[in-house]
Amino acid sequence: MNRIAFKMQLHKGCESEYEKRHKEIWPELQRLLKETGIAGYSIFLDEATGELFGVMVASEPSKMDLLPSHPVKKKWWAYMKDIMDTHPDNSPVSRPLREVFYLP
């Protein structure tokens, strides 16, 4: 199992909407993430800066390479693009984080 952490940027004033959309996450997206081997996925918000911190456990990180081309993932990105920083393809601007400490 590999832990993957990253940061994204939420637009100011969109905190409640971001939470709402994730509370109503689509079943097909949940299925896709699980089928890709993703588990233990959490996203935290730094309310002072609007930064989102995500961490997930991936059983097969190479399977994650398939996600950007999947129609469900593309649809989710299009749905989220109005409330967070995104690239031209609607994928979130995401900065990977290097693990420097872990206490199992």
Q: Taking the CA atoms of 47, 51, 34 and 81 in sequence, report the sign of the dihedral they define.
A: positive
Q: Which of 11, 22, 70, 87 is catalytic?
A: 22
Asked whether 4 and 56 are in contact (CB, 8 A), the reply is yes
Helix-then-strand count for the chain, H and E: 3, 4
The DSSP 8-state label assigned to residue 94 in this structure reads -
Residue 43, strand partner residues: 54
Does the annotation count 87 as an active-site position?
Answer: no
- Residues with a catalytic annotation lie at 22
